Amino acid sequence: MMHAFNYLAPKITMQTSTLNEVMASDIPVKLLLVAETGRDALLAQPAFAGVAAQIALGLPAPYRLADGQGLQLVLFVDSAPVLDHWLYKQIRTWTAPLAGLKVAQLALHLEGFDEAPRALLAELVLATLLAANVPLPTQKRADEAPIGYQSLTLSPPCILDLARIEAEAQGNGLARHLAVLPASELSAGSYRAFARQLAQAEGWQWEEFDEAALAKLGAGAFLAVARGSEDNQAAIVRLSYCPANPVRRIALVGKGICHDSGGYNLKVGGSMYGMHLDMGGSAVALGTLHAISRAKLPYEVHCWLAIAENHIGPRAYRPGEVVTALNGTTIEVVDTDAEGRMVLADALALAAKGEPDLLIDYATLTGACKRALGSRYSGAFTNRPDWLPELIRLGQQSGERIWPFPLDEDFDDNLDSEWADLLQCAPGSSPDHIDAARFLSRFVPGQTPWLHLDLSGFRNKGGNGVVGSEVTGFGVRLSLTLLASPLGMAEPAT
| 308-326: b (≥16 Cβ within 10 Å) or e | bbbbeeeebbebeeebbbb
What letter would DSSP give residue 248? Answer: E
How many residues would you count in the chain? 494
Tell me how far apart the alpha carbons of residues 455 and 26 are, in angstroms, rounded to a whole number.
Answer: 43
Tell me how far apart the alpha carbons of residues 276 and 315 are, in angstroms, rounded to a whole number.
Answer: 22
Tell me how far apart the alpha carbons of residues 135 and 126 are, in angstroms, rounded to a whole number.
Answer: 16
8, 169 contact by CB (below 8 A): no
Per annotation, catalytic residue among 89, 196, 267, 318: 267
Q: Beta strand 378-382 with 450-454: parallel, antiparallel or unpaired?
A: antiparallel
- Nearest Cα to Cα of residue 224 among 304, 322, 365, 363: 322
- Nearest Cα to Cα of residue 365 among 280, 284, 292, 464: 280
Angle at 162 between CA 158 and CA 166, to 5 degrees: 145
Gyration radius of the chain over CA positions: 24
Per annotation, catalytic residue among 341, 401, 438, 442: 341
| Alpha helices in 133-257, H assignment, sequence order | 162-180, 188-202, 211-217, 220-226
315 catalytic? Reply is no
Element holding 296 (H helix, E strand): none
Q: Beta strand 235-241 with 205-210: parallel, antiparallel or unpaired?
A: antiparallel
461 catalytic? Reply is no
Rounded alpha-carbon distances, angstroms, from residue 64 to 34, 67, 72, 104: 14, 9, 6, 20
72, 23 contact by CB (below 8 A): yes
Element holding 456 (H helix, E strand): none
Name the percent of the chain in helix, strand, coil, to the closest 5. 40, 20, 40
Element holding 365 (H helix, E strand): none
Burial of 116 (0-12, 13-18, 19+ CB in 10 A): exposed
CA 248, distance to chain mean position in Å, is 21
Positions annotated as catalytic residues are 267, 341
